[in-house]
Structure formats: C-alpha cells, structure tokens
Amino acid sequence: MRAEELRELSADDLVAKQTELKEQLFKLRFQKAIGQLDNQNKLGETRRDIARVLTVLKQREQAQ
C-alpha cells in the first residue's frame, strides 16, 4: 500500500485500515509461531503498512 493511496482515505477509513492491518499482523505472527507461514516477507510488509497509516494520521493531526 502506498502513502499516496492512504492520503486519499478519510480519517475513519484510516483507523479502520489500521485495525484491519493489526488483526492481519496478529494472524501472521500466529502462523509463524506454529510454522504455517509461507511468506516471511508478509510480516515486514504489514508492519510497514501500519507505520504508513500511523504516519498519515499523525500528519493530519499536526496539520490541524
């Protein structure tokens, strides 16, 4: 997910996206713990997506 795409979303959508990504990260960690995770890179991608969402939310907060 690109930051440009995130900037087009509303604040409520960003919060929903953050929640969705955190749930996905939890599931990926669980899969890794039990040895069912095929793509290890997915963990890093999900963490970076969460960071992007938080960055956009923080930028909007500071702009107000």
Residue 1 has pLDDT above 80, yes or no: no
Domains along the sequence of the chain with CATH: 3-63 (1.10.287.310)
64 pLDDT above the threshold of 90 = no
Enter the tokens of residue 22: 């955190």
Distance, C-alpha 4 to centroid of its chain: 14
Q: Averaged over 4-33, what is the pLDDT?
A: 95
Location of structure tokens 């900037």: 7
Residue 21: is its pLDDT beyond 90?
Answer: yes
Alpha carbon separation from 55 to 5, 15, 38, 61 (Å, rounded): 13, 12, 29, 10
> What mean pLDDT do residues 34-45 have?
93
Average pLDDT, the chain: 94
58 to 17, 26, 39: CA distances (angstroms) = 15, 23, 30
pTM of the model: 0.89
